[in-house]
Amino acid sequence: MKNILVLNCGSSSVKYELLNIKSSSVLAKGLVERVGMEDAVLHYHFLKDDSIYDDIKLVRNIPTHREAIQFIIRSIEDDEYGVIEDMNDIYGIGHRVVHGGEKYTDSVYITKEVKNDIKDYIPLAPLHNPHQLAGIEACEELIPDHPQVAVFDTAFHQTMPEAAYMYAFPYDMYKKFGIRKYGFHGTSHKYVSQRTAAILKKSPEDLKIITCHLGNGASICAVKNGKSVDTSMGFTPLAGLMMGTRTGDFDPAILLYIMNKEALSLSEANTMINRHSGLYGVSGVSRDFREVIEKCHNGHKRAKLAVDMFAYRIRHYIGAYAAIMNGVDVLVFTAGIGENSVELREIVCKDMDYMGIELDKEKNEACGAGEGIISSAGSPVRVMCVPTNEELLIAEETHNIIESKKEK
Q: How far is the CB of 405 from ligand ADP (least distance, A)?
A: 31
Q: From CA 284, how far away is CA 277, in angstroms rounded?
A: 9
* Shorter beta-carbon distance to ligand ADP: residue 67 or 339: 339
* Shorter beta-carbon distance to ligand ADP: residue 290 or 350: 290
* Shorter beta-carbon distance to ligand ADP: residue 94 or 244: 244
Q: From CA 206, how far away is CA 209, in angstroms rounded?
A: 10
The answer to whether 231 touches 183, Cβ cutoff 8 Å, is: yes
Q: How far is the CB of 71 from ligand ADP (least distance, A)?
A: 22
Q: How far is the CB of 38 from ligand ADP (least distance, A)?
A: 26
The answer to whether 54 touches 39, Cβ cutoff 8 Å, is: no
Q: How far is the CB of 335 from ligand ADP (least distance, A)?
A: 4
Nearest alpha-carbon partner for 111 in 73, 70, 140, 68: 140
Interface residues with ligand ADP (CB under 6 A) are 215-217, 244, 288-290, 335-337, 340-341
Q: Are strands 208-214 and 218-224 parallel, antiparallel or unpaired?
A: antiparallel
Q: How far is the CB of 161 from ligand ADP (least distance, A)?
A: 27
The answer to whether 78 touches 135, Cβ cutoff 8 Å, is: no
| Cβ neighbours, 10 Å, residue 205 | 10
Catalytic site includes residue 153: yes
* Shorter beta-carbon distance to ligand ADP: residue 242 or 273: 242
* Shorter beta-carbon distance to ligand ADP: residue 3 or 154: 154
Q: How far is the CB of 25 from ligand ADP (least distance, A)?
A: 22
* Shorter beta-carbon distance to ligand ADP: residue 288 or 358: 288
The answer to whether 236 touches 99, Cβ cutoff 8 Å, is: no
CA angle 217, 161, 128 (to 5 degrees): 35
Q: How far is the CB of 243 from ligand ADP (least distance, A)?
A: 8
The answer to whether 334 touches 213, Cβ cutoff 8 Å, is: yes
Q: How far is the CB of 235 from ligand ADP (least distance, A)?
A: 19
- Buried b / exposed e across 68-79, counting CB within 10 Å, b at 16+? bbbbbbebbbee
Residues 6+ apart with CB under 8 A from 299: none
Residue with smallest beta-carbon separation from ligand ADP: 336
Nearest alpha-carbon partner for 287 in 255, 266, 310: 310
Catalytic residue among 153, 230, 329, 360: 153
Could you tell me the strand order of the sheet in which 108-109 lies? 52-62, 37-48, 25-33, 13-20, 3-9, 90-97, 148-152, 108-109
Q: From CA 101, how far away is CA 153, in angstroms rounded?
A: 10
Angle between helices 289-297 and 301-324 (to 10 degrees): 120
Long-range contacts, 349-357 (Cβ 8 Å, 24+): 349/383, 352/315, 352/318, 355/318, 355/319, 355/322, 355/328, 355/381, 356/328, 356/380, 356/381, 357/318, 357/331, 357/381, 357/383
* Shorter beta-carbon distance to ligand ADP: residue 3 or 340: 340
Give the DSSP H/E element, type plus range, for residue 373.
strand 372-373
Q: From CA 204, how far away is CA 206, in angstroms rounded?
A: 5
Catalytic residues: 153
